[in-house]
């Protein structure tokens, strides 16, 4: 149980285009999802907290107009990287909480490798 | 502010030997502590957690960790390492008073040599 999927697993795009990454909780409802980015051999950097039915909460320094987050249902959150540039190339990982259990285990997706040419 | 430290970037052990991956934390209040493992180009997999109760926590794949409140540590251990244990390990702390956000350590790369 508690499986989180991400799609796509990897994507290559041209500079200036937009890319959408989906995060789905497959067998549970997730009130809250988190989006992270990870650089090679580094820790996870929290970008934003995605709450179902409300606006995402962004961490300091993360441009909300560039990284659009939509949490339209209890099983789906999307991250759209708008007008992508090479510096946006990274590994993006989402995680989800079991509904109502914000202090318990986070369940992570497998990650999405974004390469912007 | 809460913080997590993994003092070793790299840990090398021989297969069959015991392994320890260290983690210390600095928080106010009672933390919820986690260990996750990450294989190349994959997301994080949950290993074990400490919420309350017995200080020795047993988790997946034969791993265990001991919560030590006086030393503010939560070291990950395994009695006999396997080559397949080679991966990147993250310690994390979580509070319900921080909107459920987790703070992660910088990670420790474990290499088990045959």
Give residue-wise pLDDT tens across range A29-87. Answer: 888 899 999 988 788 899 999 888 888 999 999 999 999 999 888 899 999 999 999 99
Contact between chains at A109 and B43 (C-beta distance less than 8 A) = yes
Convert the pLDDT of each residue in B7-22 to its tens digit: 999 999 999 999 999 9
Q: What is the pLDDT of residue A102?
A: 54
Q: CA B6 to CA B61: how far, in whole Å?
A: 21
What is the enclosing helix (H) or strand (E) of A35? strand A32-38
B78 touching A (Cβ < 8 Å): no
> How far is C-alpha A36 from the chain's CA centre?
6
A34 touching B (Cβ < 8 Å): yes
Contact between chains at A103 and B102 (C-beta distance less than 8 A) = no
Kind of pairing, strands B3-5 and B10-14? unpaired
Among the ranges given (A92-96, B52-56, B108-112), the one the predictor scored with the smallest mean pLDDT: B52-56
Residue A67 forms beta bridges with which residues? Answer: A81
Q: What is the pLDDT of residue A100?
A: 58
Q: Is A40 helix (H, G, I), strand (E, B) or coil?
A: coil
Chain B 11-50, residues with CB within 8 Å of chain A CB atoms: 32, 34, 36, 41-46, 49
Interchain CB contacts (distance < 8 Å): A and B: 63
Q: Can you tell me which residue has the tokens 């934390």?
A: B25
Q: What is the pLDDT of residue A112?
A: 95
Name the pLDDT band for B96 (thresholds 50, 70, 90).
low
Count Cβ atoms within 10 A of the Cβ of residue A27 and give its class: 0-12 exposed, 13-18 middle, 19 or more buried.
exposed
What is the chain A residue with the closest CA to B97? A103
Q: What is the pLDDT of residue B99?
A: 64
């Amino acid at each position: 149980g508690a499986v989180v999927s991400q799609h796509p697993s990897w994507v290559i795009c041209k500079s200036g285009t937009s890319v959408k990454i989906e995060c789905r909780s497959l067998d549970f409802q997730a009130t809250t999802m988190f989006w992270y980015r990870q650089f090679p051999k580094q820790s996870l950097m929290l970008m934003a907290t995605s709450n179902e039915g409300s606006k995402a909460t962004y961490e300091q320094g993360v441009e909300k107009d560039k990284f659009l987050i939509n949490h339209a249902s209890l099983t789906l959150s999307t991250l759209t990287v708008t007008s992508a540039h090479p510096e946006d190339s990274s590994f993006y990982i989402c995680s989800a909480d079991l509904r109502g259990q914000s202090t318990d285990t986070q369940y992570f997706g497998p990650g999405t490798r974004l390469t912007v040419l | 502010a809460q913080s997590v430290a993994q003092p070793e970037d790299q840990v090398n052990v021989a297969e069959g030997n015991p392994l320890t991956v260290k983690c210390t934390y600095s928080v106010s209040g009672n933390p919820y502590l986690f260990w996750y493992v990450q294989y190349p180009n994959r997301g994080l997999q949950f290993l074990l957690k400490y919420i309350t109760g017995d200080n020795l926590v047993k988790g997946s794949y034969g791993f265990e960790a001991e919560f030590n409140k006086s030393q503010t540590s939560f070291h990950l251990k395994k009695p006999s390492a396997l080559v397949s244990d080679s991966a990147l390990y993250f310690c994390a702390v979580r509070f319900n008073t921080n909107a459920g956000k987790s703070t992660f350590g910088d990670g420790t790369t474990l290499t088990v040599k045959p």
